[in-house]
Chains A and B, each alone.
Chain A
Amino acid sequence: MHRRSWLILASLALAPATSGAAPRPLIAAAASLQPALEEAAALITAETGIAPRFAYGASGNLARQIAQGAPFEMLLAADEISIQKLAEAGQSRDAGHVFALGRLALFAVRGSVLNPAGGLEALRLLLAAGRVQRFAIANPEIAPYGRAAQEALRRLNLWEALRPRLVFGENIAQAAQFAMMEGATGGLIALSLALSPALKARGDFSLVPEALHEPLRHRLALTKRASEAALRVQAWLLSSQAAAVFARHGLQNR
């Protein structure tokens, strides 16, 4: 009896490994990439038979996790520094590749006092009138879009005045979620998230001029643990087909 239940348990434990034919490389990706990668994943599977599994977070967090031994085979970062850190820690295979360019968007839910069409100058006016409640950005220390938001606000001399009103998302997706809450005035988020159906349904956005922050160059790299399957996923992500998917989600080609 005991032996039989052990056998059942053992077969259950082994089942996924033996029955799942498709290799499933584990890939870490910036939270801003989720809508684009969900679309890409279906195409990757259809074309290569590989079904990558994605874990999302702030690029800085993910780099840190990989440095601590997290079993990711690739990192798609929303910046270049995270990949650089990975390379310096000897955790990446090479210096990686730039695969897209991100844009910052000023977002506000409908019904907010902030009309994104007025740009950051509209925010300045509301701030002067004391009408800004809460304004969301991502944590500038670990999230590339948070860093870009901080740079833009500093360049426009809005940072100090806005600081008491800022809420910080742990990654850009949480910042978007905070910006989307009723009662929040708005936020600076990734264009790739502002274009997602959930946010489009609830609010409006305008683009923040690129000159206001360092370019949001997105770099990806394979880690030391990368499998053959991960290598093929990387090749797909650097193809023109991938560029078309990224472009649809507001991520310009490099």
Chain B
Amino acid sequence: MDWPALRLSLWLGLSTVVILLPFALWLGRHLALRRFAGRGMIEAAVALPLVLPPTVLGFYLLTAFGAGTWLGGAFQAIFGRTLAFSFEGLLLASAIANIPFAVQPIQNAFAAIPPNLREAGATSGMTPWAVFRRIELPLAWPGIATAIVLTFAHTLGEFGVVLMVGGAIPGETRTAAIAIYDRVQAFDDAAAASMSALLLVICLVALLLVQRLTRGIGCRRHG
């Protein structure tokens, strides 16, 4: 069992959730409640990582991470090391790859809130912030929780992009999924088997959690 790899994967999953959630909340709510030009285009762009081969994303990220680009150059100027092959680079890649898993459940949750509830809040003198905090957030919570769990679980499962931009550095970019691949290639089936079983259980529990949470949405709607 490669514990550093597992710890790294869990930490990457957590970090991805933390940096992606505020953005997903803003964008998901915006897409659910507003009608504006180019909305379809943005929705399609949000869904892109679901259908694009990870290699396409990996290729663009590799190109963007080089020290010659503004992104790679700025990172190197600030932190004194390359963005490619760093945990931060992996985190950025993971955040981009997880956009649909974070945004779509949140968008659906906000879209399911009856408009008259928000209007009632507004007419009874609540500020928009109060409406968001006291009416929208509690009602959208199951969708938000689903987004958190899905993003976390999907980060654990990310492989193609990590293989391309990570560089398999122990403790920094060698995630559990990469470690399993390496163990298999090195004919070490025992280690691959135990790590695979553990990831299987973690992801299964995560999906069961999502199931319970989304069932919550249904109950609320009927009650």
Contacts and interface: CB of A to CB of B under 8 A. Distances in A.
Interface stretch (A120-128, A133-141, A236-244): A133-141
By size class, the interface of chain B is: 20 to 34
A55 to B, nearest CB: 15
A139 B163 CA distance: 12
B105 interface: no
Contacts, number: 61
Given A166-B169, A182-B66, A58 B82 contact: no
A199 interface: no
B68 interface: yes
A139 B67 CA distance: 24
B72 interface: yes
A183 B82 contact: yes
Contacts of A154: none
Nearest to B82: A183
Contact of A139 (B65, B72, B76, B182): B182
Contact of B66 (A61, A167, A183): A183
B187 interface: yes
Contact of A61 (B84, B163, B185): B185
Contacts of B137: none
A170 interface: yes
A37 interface: no
A178 interface: yes
Interface residues of A, number: 21
Given A58-B185, A141-B182, A168 B66 contact: no
B62 interface: yes
A85 B187 CA distance: 10
B37 interface: no
A177 to B, nearest CB: 8
14 contacts: A58-B185, A61-B185, A85-B187, A139-B168, A141-B185, A168-B169, A178-B84, A181-B65, A181-B82, A182-B66, A182-B67, A182-B72, A183-B66, A183-B84
A134 B167 contact: yes
Contacts of A85: 187
A134 B201 CA distance: 35
Nearest to B67: A183
Given A142-B185, A183-B68, 10 more contacts: A58-B185, A134-B82, A136-B167, A139-B185, A141-B186, A167-B173, A168-B168, A168-B169, A182-B67, A183-B72
Interface string B136-179: 00000000000000000000000000010001110001100000
Interface string A175-187: 0001001111000
A64 interface: yes
Interface of A: 58, 60-61, 64, 85, 133-134, 136, 139, 141-142, 166-170, 178, 181-184
Nearest to A167: B167
Contacts of A178: 84-85, 167
A183 B185 contact: no
B7 interface: no
Nearest to B68: A182
B81 interface: yes
Contacts of A182: 66-68, 72
Contact of A167 (B76, B163, B168): B168
